[in-house]
Every structure is written in C-alpha cells, then in structure tokens.
C-alpha cells in the first residue's frame, strides 16, 4: 500500500513560516510543531524531517508491509486492509496499544494518495480520512471518533526529501486533554525517527510498482511515466 494520511491535502506549507504553528521539539533533525484548534480541546501536531532517499519505491514497499507498521508507526500495534477501489485508494483498520490504564483504540480509515509533479513541486502526499462507520463496532476497542492525518514527502533535489507526518485525532472515551496532547506530541517524532531508519532496510530496496511514478533502481528503464494520481 502506498497510502496514509481531509481529502486531497496538498503539500503543507512550511511550518516555520506559518505563525499558527509553534515549534515544540527539535532533536535528531526532526522538528515537531503544534497548532491549536479552536473547535477541539486537543492540539494538532506535525513532524518534519529531511533525509536521503535513494529509492523512493522503498517507501511504497514499506507501506505495503502491514505487519511492519508497529515497528515504526507510533502506538500502532496492528494494521490491516479490508477494502480498496485501487492500489492508491484503500480502506484500513489500525489498532493502538496505549499505556495502562488507558483502553486500547482502533481507527477505521480511507487511505488515499495524491501525487504532484510540476515545475514548482514534486511530492507524494498520503491522506487518512476517517470512516468510523465502515466496519461494525468491536467491543475490544474504543473507536476513534475523529482521526485524519498526512504522511508524505517533497523532493528537494539530489535524492533528498522532506518527509511530513501530521496527526489530528480525538481518542474518544475519557482521556484528560493534557495526557492526550502528550501522546499526540510524541507520535510525529517517533514515527519519523523509526521510518527513516527502517525504509533503508534491504528488504524494501529495488522494488517497482507501476501504479505510481517514482524514482528508484528497481524501476525498469522502459517504464513509461504514469499520470500523476490526483484527488
């Protein structure tokens, strides 16, 4: 799967140029920003990092590997696909394992890819769109009443990319806002820190997927450019 996180978001504006975003953490070349939401007691958090990605298809391979999600996606302990209309538009279920005494949660989402290729920007942005009613209730989990997010990258040149992970959610049930905001603040940092390490593992290299137009050594020399998937 090459998908993850309101529909058809384009690449986000730089957080350090947007006065609505406040820098709350800067370590290991990962910046985490916070934004207040007037309609919610919870804040929005965005993580940004830059690194070298020689094989862009390695990210597709990683995102197709659902059993690997708990190794890099913070708080997620399982991921599964339960439907799709195309490889770029899928339905997913995540479960989360939260620290005691908090009850475990689940998210039911639509995952959709948007790719932009023009003279001003080259990016792939993946949106998660909340679909809490797409599956019957599960008594073992509290379902997130609200969850949207974004995961994607923008090319900077010379194989360097800027990766963004943004998360908006309401965990449901009773969790004090201060605890929920601490948990949310940590998610972008740990997700990006793990992702940039795991995506370079050998098993994710030298793949090719004909449904998205990326760079990588596994791409056949005669592969034709694909029409960029849009909203």
Task: For domain 27-204, give its CATH number from 3.40.800.10, 3.30.450.40, 2.60.40.2890, 3.30.530.20.
Answer: 3.30.530.20
What does the alpha-carbon distance between residue 76 and residue 101 come to, in Å, rounded to a whole number?
A: 17
Which pLDDT does position 11 carry in this prediction?
Answer: 44
Which pLDDT does position 183 carry in this prediction?
Answer: 73
Give the start-end residues of each E strand in 87-219: 89-96, 105-117, 122-130, 142-143, 146-157, 160-170
Q: Per-residue pLDDT for the chain (231 aa), expressed as one digit of tens each?
A: 543 333 333 445 555 567 789 999 999 999 999 988 766 667 789 999 999 999 999 999 999 999 999 999 998 999 999 999 999 999 999 998 877 777 889 999 999 999 999 989 999 999 999 999 999 999 999 998 888 899 999 999 999 999 999 988 877 777 777 677 777 788 999 999 999 999 999 999 999 999 999 999 999 988 876 655 555
Which pLDDT does position 63 carry in this prediction?
Answer: 96
Which pLDDT does position 8 carry in this prediction?
Answer: 35
Are 148 and 129 contacting, i.e. CB atoms less than 8 angstroms apart? yes
Q: Which helix (H) or strand (E) holds 60?
A: helix 57-64
Pick from 159, 144, 212: which is nearest to 52 by CA?
159
Which pLDDT does position 17 carry in this prediction?
Answer: 63
Give the start-end residues of each E strand in the chain: 22-27, 30-35, 44-52, 76-86, 89-96, 105-117, 122-130, 142-143, 146-157, 160-170
Taking the CB of residue 179, how many other CB atoms lie within 10 A of it? 13
Which pLDDT does position 14 carry in this prediction?
Answer: 56
For the question of whether the overall pTM of this predicted structure is more than 0.85, the answer is yes
Domain ranges of the chain: 27-204
CA distances from 154 to 93, 136, 146 (A): 26, 37, 27
154, β-bridge pairs: 123, 162
Which residues, in sequence order, are CB contacts of 183 under 8 Å at separation 6+?
A: 75, 98, 171
């Amino acid at each position: 799967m090459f998908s993850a996180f309101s529909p058809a978001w384009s690449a986000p504006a730089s957080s350090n140029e947007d006065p609505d975003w406040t820098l709350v953490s800067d370590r290991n070349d990962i910046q985490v920003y916070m934004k207040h939401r007037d309609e919610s007691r919870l804040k929005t958090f965005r993580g940004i990092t830059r690194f070298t990605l020689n094989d862009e298809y390695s990210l597709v391979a990683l995102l197709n590997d659902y059993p690997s999600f708990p190794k890099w996606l913070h708080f997620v302990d399982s991921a599964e696909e339960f439907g799709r209309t195309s490889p770029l538009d899928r339905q997913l279920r995540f479960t989360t394992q939260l620290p005691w005494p908090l009850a475990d949660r689940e998210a039911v989402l639509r995952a959709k890819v948007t790719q932009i290729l023009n003279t001003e920007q080259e990016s792939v942005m993946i949106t998660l769109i909340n679909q809490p009613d797409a599956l019957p209730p599960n008594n073992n989990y509290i379902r997130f009443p609200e969850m949207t997010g974004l995961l994607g990258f923008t090319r900077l040149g010379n194989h360097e990319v800027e990766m963004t992970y943004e998360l908006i959610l309401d965990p449901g049930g009773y969790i004090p806002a201060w605890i929920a905001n601490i948990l949310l603040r940590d998610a972008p940092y740990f997700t990006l820190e793990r992702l940039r390490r795991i995506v370079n593992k050998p098993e994710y290299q030298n793949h090719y997927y004909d449904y998205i137009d990326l760079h990588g050594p596994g791409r056949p020399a005669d592969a034709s450019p694909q029409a960029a998937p849009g909203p």
